[in-house]
Structure 1
Amino acid sequence: MARYAYVNGRYVDHRDASVHIEDRGYQLADGVYEVVGVRDGKLIDEGPHIDRLDRSLRELRIGWPVSRQALGFVMRELMRRNRLRDGLIYMQVTRGVARRDHAFPTTPVKPALVLTTKNTKHLGVDPGPGVAVKSQPDIRWERCDIKTVALLPNVLAKQAARESGAYEAWLIDDKGCITEGASTNAWIVTPDNELVTRQTDNGILAGITRGTLKKIAGDLQLRFVERPFTLTEARKAKEAFITSATSFVTPVVKIDGEAVGDGKVGPTARRLREEYVRFASEGEAVT
């Protein structure tokens, strides 16, 4: 079956999809992106993802390449053409094509829009045995709240984690606190059963899955607090886990080779994953 991508107004064969050599996203990382999960043919948290895309565009003063309604149509059409049931929709908007210059183009250019899809396995309530994370220094810029395509520090951190046998990297700021993962948000459950994740500020991305988990935690009447927590505190936690559109709720059972709690998936992470999967299964399927 052919696989399609959407590039600046056209649905094209994925193998032939390309952008101009002077696209500012390619040359200057002058662009933003979003990733929306799909489960059983249903978009997960579509509205919040598009709201965050809008915010990222506004922060970088990039215009919308199409209307919000048109973007929704493109997402669904690409799902239909690629027969996407479980997976991800990746969308990227750059400032557009212009002669290379660090400053914004002096003449108007149309923002560029690219969408692709990726099939993944059907994620269920079973979180598996959990994953390991490796701590890495957070060397990113000071506007991590913008979901830009400038991800090289994240790439290096993730690669270091994978080379050590870990699944994810947890980034550590100059105060010894965990900001977030290379591509996930970080959570712990303290010894007195407090559910903790860092507050949203310019040091982390306000994860959409993170936001949904906040609501679920409230519904479950968990003791939830947003605050910084240190690597030392995480190592002494009862439980830890990561969240994202790609990993849902995935328990962390090792940090830097040391077991978290008893080294097994804990009840809080397990329950939150169950509830998130239930949430993700709701909604109208795209046909």
Structure 2
Amino acid sequence: MTRKKKFISEAENSIIWWFLPVVILLTFFYLYPLFEVFRLSFTNTSFIEPEYSYTIRSYIRIFTSSSFYFTLKITVIYVAACIVGQLGIGQAIALLLDQGEKRRLRGTVLTRTIVLMGWVMPGVVTGIIWNMFLSSSPYGFVNYIIRSLGFKPISFLHSSIFSLVTIIIANIWRGTAFSMILQYAGLKQIPQQLYEAAKVDGASSLQQYFYITLPQLRNVIFINLVLITVGTFNTFEMILSLTGGGPGISTEVLALRIYSAAFKSFDLSGGAGYAVILFAINLIMALTYFRLISKED
């Protein structure tokens, strides 16, 4: 009886009960849907015909399609440009805010609030705002100014190059705030004694940046890179409301291709196939970044 009570007591105090709710939630809301996506990608199912069989035709169709490789190229350009823009501009704003607070300059709180406005907006709202901002119609703000100056309006959203540049700028504007928050928090963790010692040794501001700030922000930058990369790869709602993937498929990134295949073409297996490919890319990128971090450490 004593052993039984001891066993029950140990079971009640076991750490497994703390993790069990998390495991259940992850299983039902993440692992099971993920398994279903993988399973459906190996079928020929659609929203129109419920009957299906298991096959690899979806992947054959995807990898033999020239439009897939064009979409992949556009996605890589879009993600790379957004990474550079969000990381660079976010760090610049974080440095300016940090220096502004140290010197007690006015406007630092206002600047931080303005930058955060883009981040708190839903992607659909961001897309609509930029669409109205750059529209060729009379209510387009930029083209209104161009017309007022006596020039012909520019079709920002009807040109392949301009449309791609537009979605890049819009996503940088939207995501820079998050990058700024992470790096600003990282700057606050750097011991001020390092800068004071560097000043005593005669180090310039540029030398302090390269030999103190950047090395101290290394892990924050790597984590930021992972989050920006995964977040940008998965962005589609902003592009959907801004350009709709057009003109043609010139701004149809991989995440938007998933939506188009599943909900426009009603090709559920094709959409699942694209989703599996996107998941694999995200996983490879994340593992690569974390491997680099472990090597640096």
TM-score range, shorter chain: under 0.3
Larger Rg: 2
TM-score (norm: length of structure 1): 0.22
TM-score (norm: length of structure 2): 0.22
Higher RCO structure (Cα 8 Å, ≥6 apart):
2
Which of the two has greater strand per residue? 1
